[in-house]
Structure 1
Amino acid sequence: MSENNPFPNENNTGHFWDDNLRELSNDPPGWWRIGFHASWIFCIVYFVLYPALPSLDGYTKGTMGWTAVGEYKQDLSAIDQVREKWERQINDPATTPAMIIADDELRNYTVRSAKVLFGDYCAACHGAGGAGNAAMSVSESGYPVLADDDWLYGGTVEQIQTTINNGRKGIMTPYGARLSSDEIEDLAKHVVALSEGSEHAAGKALFMEPTKGGCFACHGMDAKGLAPLGSANLTDAVWRFDVQGGGDNRLASARHTIAHGVNGELMDPQSRNAVMPAFGPLGKSLSEGTIKKLAVYVHQLGGGK
């Protein structure tokens, strides 16, 4: 293909295809040469300044002594300096969660910084944003919603702090050995009816009868629950042991709870397990400041009182 050169005066390599397609031997443009030389010079400078090449005992350290870990620690230190004034206030034993909420600037900082803490310690059970996790079956316990205004032990920020710090473990006696299946059915229907704004006559009689159900002793004469005992309000539509799908599942769930109780494993192996672990000194040992942050965050989810 190079036997006949139709362009004898042109700076080409003598390689031709189809008479017109040819390979030239011109020098590359100046901008390309500058870029090429700048590239290898940059590589040499980079290798001198920064860690770059592996060696028998590790790697070249670079004259600047830079490391990714060192840069991370510097950035973290800078962030800690910005946060210091708020962290100092939160960690002060004299600062209460109520005082944090009353200070707009401190409250905003606390809520934003506690979002990560909530994801680390709470979201696995209570869901992102405190949405809760309903049980998959009537025998499971699920986890309560934290974003509504229904609270077993009270929804003030102080009560929430106590719950996080000390944990909670309420107990409901299993009635499977005391009541007949028909009586349990009547009570379950009454509980469902209460949540819908009505009553079930036979179930109500058992609810108020001390020698039978006697439910009023814990849930109150009005069935609205007693915060010191952690007993549920049975008159609203919020269910501690809700089941995905609702409807008939709620009747089955109420029937199971009445028959087998809550946290009564010693009396009934099928009893529901519903325990909030302690995050204070008796549990996971989170710092007092961290517990304050979580209490304020949960309170600010929308249901705090």
Structure 2
Amino acid sequence: MSLTTKEGARTADKAAGNPALKKIWIAVGVVLVLALLVLAARWWRGTAAGEQFLAAYPGHSALPQNAPTGIPAWLGWQHFLNAFFMVLIIRSGWLIRTTARPKAYWTRNNTGLFKTKTKPKKISLEIWLHLSLDVLWIVNGVVFIVLLFATGAWMRIVPTSWDIFPNALSAGLQYLSLDWPAENGWLNYNALQVLAYFAIVFLAAPVSAITGLRMSPAWPAKLDKALPMEAARKVHFPAMLFFVGFLVMHVLLVLLTGARANLNHMFAARSDDGWLGVIMFVVAVAVTAGAWFACKPVVIRALAGMSGKISK
């Protein structure tokens, strides 16, 4: 083996044994792949086939004629509450994963309407917080689904035509080429957004709720075989990562594709470029951040103590 080959081998071995260096090389590789994909998408858009495809599928599907126009105020409040609970659920779930030994436990008061023949189970304060937030998130979700179908707003996030798929591909290619599709969320989401919202509301949310319930003390023992605990654990954490990825991409696209107009749609139920939506967004972020940092043992203990007994 030549000296150059030996030095190359030693360098490779050193990189393999250095986790930080390995991560740097992975990051460089990801950036290079993304750059190549962007160049390929931009080249393809300039071809005759690319131009014909984009002309046939501009990136959004037409809504049914009876679809409602605009975003109602109730959807803005639902949007805030859903994001608020999702962020705190992620926070409390991470506390469960990173807390080696809980400092305190909660036991439900077995009185009044909550009195049962079986002895209430003792759970950690972190699990109590996670389950309590889950209940609030599910209740809010049920209200959201009811209003969604009662007002016809479901047509905005449920695919109603098969051309949603080629239009989603078109929107994805436009994003990838850095020449983004035209946005008008007040009237119609692009096809990629529709599929993402549909997946979050009707797929990821139910899966997260069911697998989370399976890992909680509230799960009926007679249904253990229907959904094994190990299977629920393997699905629940990736579902959380999916929510995190969605939240990050959602916020980035909202801010990069006309922040004031988008925030007015989502928070102020208005179709203009005023500042009301931005102000409401800042307040919503401040409230959510405050709740995030309030997830401390002393605060959780005080809240949990209202409905049960706290013990060490």
TM-score (normalizing by structure 2): 0.21
Which gives a bigger RCO, structure 1 or 2 (Cα 8 Å, sep 6+)? 2
- Bigger Rg over Cα: 1
**Structure showing the higher helix proportion among its residues:** 2
TM-score (normalizing by structure 1): 0.22
